[in-house]
C-alpha cells in the first residue's frame, strides 16, 4: 500500500512540475525578484547617501504633519 501511495504521489508531483501553470508561476516569481532586489538596492543607496543636513532622524514612528 505504501509503495502504491508513493508511486501515485510521485506521478502527481511530476505532472504538477511539468504543468504550464507552475512554469508561469515560477517565471512570475523570477520577474518579481528581478524587480524587488534592484528596488531595495536603490532605496538603500538613497538612504545611505541622502544628505541629512545634520539633523537626527525622527524615531517617534509617526509621519510629520
pLDDT tens digits along 12-57: 888 888 888 888 999 999 999 999 999 999 999 988 888 767 677 6
Q: What is the pLDDT of residues 51-65, one digit of tens each?
A: 767 677 667 766 666
pTM for the model stands at: 0.56
Q: For the chain, give the longest Cα–Cα distance.
A: 72
3-state SS, the chain, equals CHHHHHHHHHHHHHHHHCCHHHHHHHHHHHHHHHHHHHHHHHHHHHHHHCCCCCCCCCCCCCCCC
- In angstroms, the CA 39 to CA 35 distance is 6
Amino acid at each position: 500500500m505504501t509503495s502504491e501511495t508513493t508511486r501515485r504521489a510521485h506521478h502527481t508531483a511530476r505532472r504538477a512540475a511539468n504543468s504550464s501553470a507552475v512554469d508561469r508561476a515560477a517565471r512570475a516569481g523570477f520577474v518579481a525578484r528581478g524587480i524587488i532586489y534592484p528596488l531595495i538596492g536603490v532605496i538603500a543607496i538613497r538612504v545611505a547617501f541622502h544628505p541629512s543636513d545634520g539633523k537626527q532622524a525622527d524615531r517617534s514612528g509617526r509621519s510629520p504633519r
